[in-house]
Amino acid sequence: METISHTPDPWTGLRTLTEARIALGRTGGSLPTAEVLDFRLDHAAARDAVLTPFDPTALADEILALGTGVFTVTSAAANRAQYLQRPDSGRQLSAGSRAALTDFAAGRPPVDLVIIAADGLSTQAVRQIVPLLRGLLPALQGAGWELAPVIVASQARVALQDEIGNLLQARLSLILLGERPGLGSADSLGAYFTWAPRPGRSDAERNCLSNIRAAGLPPAAAAVRLFHLLTESRRRGLSGTSLKDETPLPGLQHRRD
Amino acid sequence: MTHRFTHGRTTFTFPDLATLMARASPRRSGDELAGLAAASAEERVAAQVCLAEVPLTRFLEEPLIPPEQDEVTRLILDRHDLAAFAPVGGLTVGQFRDWLLRYETDGTVLTALAPGLTPEMVAAVSKVMRQQDLILVASKIRKVTRFRSTLGLPGTLAVRLQPNHPADDPRGIAASILDGLMYGCGDAVIGINPATDSPSSYHELAGLMDRLITEYHIPTQSCVLAHLSTALRAMEAGAPVDLVFQSIAGTEAANRSFGIDLALLREARAAALSLGRVPPGGQVMYFETGQGSCLSAGAHHGIDQQTLEARAYAVAREFDPLLVNTVVGFIGPEYLYDGKQIIRAGLEDHFCGKMLGLPMGCDVCYTNHAEADQDDMDTLLTLLGTAGCNFIMGVPGAADVMLGYQSTSFHDSHYLRQLLGLRPAPEFAAWLETMGIMQDGLRLQPAGPHHALVAPQLQALAASPN
């Protein structure tokens, strides 16, 4: 078999300085086969993360096993295609879920926090949720927080936390959901929280921890950071840019997606 | 004025020009999201049939957004050149399409016509044009701009080198710049999207590029794609600023949501010119646009996203830019759902920009939640090459690790240059030849670790691995 060698780039060593795809080499002026396929593989993983169906029952079972209550809802997005084209549909509950959650909330006292575990744009990122809750729930319970059952939500956008938090009379609403997958980071989870959640809250009124994944901010570390941030948010009675501006905590970001 | 069209037993009515424009727009998710799109395929074509009958002068009589509400409308009307408009002043939208496709309508004619056209006229005709029309007419028009390199000449294709890094790490950025230069890219601009929008970060990145350009005599220009106000502060602090960047949109309200207005753009351009870095008669502004930005900012006034995009070009041309880049697929599938919508939008934007006299380039790109992939980008890239696009992006391996999306790569530029015989900007091609990087502007040369650009970075790495 004849060997066709491509032209390598002599600056391969510089790859340690950046995650960017430099020094890929070339055949003629084009990408070598291995690089074409490597890119395709990463893109395929990202596409699968967006499109693989979310299994809310499996996630609910795992969360129940942590010893907390669970309530399952769906957004108004009828399917994945609608979810992707109509972000507004993912920001509100389906009629059925709204009725069920309203019934559930009737006669119950307000809570400090509702945590929402959701698919978002990456169903692969959902795997970070249980490890994160394993750290966060005991910390909150130990500090005397009144918690609503964990809400497992399908086809959810960040702002779904507003309607859910409002229905449950929660002081704070925290949603954990898959971020838009990047190449090579298809399983990245985002965490967004909002003080006094109610429909119409703007993104400037939220805070965000992003890139929660083993190779980024590990779920256990994210749990520690979230606990401190939520505590600070509750103490000061606010969230969003003002929390960001006055509390220089590492990893705290303003929402950017 | 109500527009009506009867097809079979169905009569379609469109109450005003804005509705007619929106219903006539080729299908895209952003107009559906805004509730402006045609309800059926037949209604869409009915609107196109009605639109083809509309006289071009109607767009002067019936502004889609009232001038008293919007400074972009006022700019469009104030700058309209009736003498330049005269050759097409008696035509309808449909007749205008026919006129554009005539053999006699060449680049000289179209260049002279540009000041006589409004964005709405250009958007309207694009809606009744097929993709081949958009490509053919745009390919007749050349728009040449200059800083240290001359861009937009016939037979050339330039590349913006985009060496972003998620933490603005200077060595990581320098490594990506080296990669791009060694692949013959960067003649349009070396342009960094900073992760942090601060004057100090701006100053550091501008300094890094300035030293590189100066030391190696690279005939190109640099740009930090931070907010205009950051650029102004950095210029005051003495940063070496070649090009001033800003994202712009087609309504005053959307521009305000970006924190800018026409006055601020004027101030920034004057500041950049006053630095005296650009040769006389050259250009100092770099604008980016993209369909859907007005809707995203809640500032669309019930106008479809393609028409609003064309209005952004009226803002751009007021400031004589070096580069205008439509970042076509960046905004996501809620505005352009799939490869088909992204491809059509990219060709529309390039056509509309060129018709209005702009040096149009395109960030041929998509996000991972859009129904698109590299094959779709190959298609749009190829079509834009044939349409005479001034410049494209060059991102290492096509994946931007800071912005988290996929664009075109250095390798992609070689594909297009080989396929269509397109060379880099002449000054840059000569520099590449001198540096032993490229032969005849088309063929990469083998380079070793001792190459003048490569060796210093490898030595620095050996001296300080992290």
- From first to last of its 257 residues, chain A has per-residue pLDDT tens of 666 778 999 999 999 999 999 999 999 999 999 999 999 999 999 999 999 999 999 999 999 999 999 999 999 999 999 999 999 999 999 999 999 999 999 999 999 999 999 999 999 999 999 999 999 999 999 999 999 999 999 999 999 999 999 999 999 999 999 999 988 888 999 999 999 999 989 887 899 898 899 888 999 999 999 999 999 999 999 998 778 544 444 444 433 33
What pLDDT is attached to residue B355?
A: 98
Mutual orientation of helices A95-105 and A160-167 as an angle, nearest 10°? Answer: 30
| Interchain CB distance below 8 Å, B443 and A39 | no
Q: Print burial letters for B378-395: b (CB count within 10 Å at least 16), e (below 16).
A: ebbbbbbbebbbbbbbbb
Q: What is the largest CA-CA distance in chain B?
A: 80
CB contact under 8 A, A18 and B169: yes
pLDDT of residue A49: 94
Helix (H, G, I), strand (E, B) or coil at B55: strand
The answer to whether the beta carbons of residues A254 and A163 sit under 8 Å apart is no
Q: Enter the tokens of residue B168.
A: 């603005």
Q: What's the CATH architecture for A51-240?
A: 3-Layer(aba) Sandwich (3.40)
Count CB neighbours of B253 within 10 A.
18
Residue B22's identity, in one-letter code, is A
Cα–Cα nearest to B406, from B196, B158, B131, B162: B162
Q: What is the ipTM of this complex?
A: 0.95
- Three-state secondary structure call for residue B418: helix
Query: What is the Cα–Cα distance from A21 to B396, expressed in whole angstroms?
Result: 5
Is residue A159 within 8 angstroms of chain B, CB to CB? no
Check CB contact of B296 with chain A, cutoff 8 Å: no
In terms of CA atoms, which chain A residue is nearest residue B195? A256
Task: Give alpha helix (H) positions in B371-409.
Answer: 374-387
Residue spans of the domains in chain A: they are: 51-240
pLDDT tens by residue, chain B, 466 residues: 899 999 989 999 999 999 999 999 999 999 999 999 999 999 999 999 999 999 999 999 999 999 999 999 999 999 999 999 999 999 999 999 999 999 999 999 999 999 999 999 999 999 999 999 999 999 999 999 999 999 999 999 999 999 999 889 999 999 999 999 999 999 999 999 998 888 888 999 999 999 999 999 999 999 999 999 999 999 999 999 999 999 999 999 999 999 999 999 999 999 999 999 999 999 999 999 999 999 988 899 999 999 999 999 999 999 999 999 999 999 999 999 999 999 999 999 999 999 999 999 999 999 999 999 999 999 999 999 999 999 999 999 999 998 889 999 999 999 999 999 999 999 999 999 999 999 998 999 999 999 999 999 999 999 988 6
- Pairwise CB contact (< 8 Å): B369 & A180: yes
Rounded CA gap, A151 and A68, in Å? Answer: 11
Using an 8 Å CB-CB cutoff, list chain B residues near A23: 179
Q: Which residues of B touch A86 (CB under 8 A)?
A: 32-33, 334
Question: By C-alpha distance, which of B365, B340, B213, B236 is closest to B288?
Answer: B365
Of the candidates B125, B123, B118, B31, the residue with the CA atom closest to the CA atom of residue B73? B118
B452 touches A at CB < 8 Å: no
> What is the model's pLDDT at position B466?
66
Q: Does B366 touch chain A (CB under 8 A)?
A: no
Residue A234: CB atoms within 10 Å: 17
- Tokens read off for B433: 């030849």
Closest-CA distance of chain A to residue B450, Å = 9
Please indicate if any CB of chain B lies within 8 Å of the CB of A35.
Answer: yes
Chain B residue with CA closest to A51: the answer is: B369
Q: Inspect the interface and report whether the beta carbons of B176 and A30 lie closer than 8 Å.
A: no
Q: How many CB atoms lie within 10 A of CB A252?
A: 17
pLDDT at A211: 87
Distance CA A231, CA A139 (A): 10
Shortest CB distance from B176 goes to which of A20, A84, A85? Answer: A20
Chain A interface includes B455 (CB < 8 A): no
Q: Any CB–CB contact under 8 A between B84 and chain A?
A: no
How many CB atoms sit inside 10 A of residue B229's CB? 16
A200 and chain B: CB distance < 8 Å anywhere?
no
Residue B189, SS3 per DSSP: strand
Angle formed by the axes of helices A219-236 and A129-142, nearest 10°: 40
End-to-end CA distance of chain B: 68
Chain B touched by A50 (CB under 8 Å): yes
Tell me the C-alpha distance between B163 and B156, whole Å.
22
Tokens found for residue A169: 């009379």
Q: Residue A208's beta-bridge partner residues?
A: A192, A253
Provide the 10 A C-beta neighbour count for residue B27.
14
**Under a CB-based contact definition with an 8 Å cutoff, are residues A97 and A85 in contact?**
no
CB contact under 8 A, A39 and B399: yes
pLDDT of residue A1: 61
Using CB atoms and an 8 Å cut-off, which of residues 81-110 of chain A contact chain B? 84-88
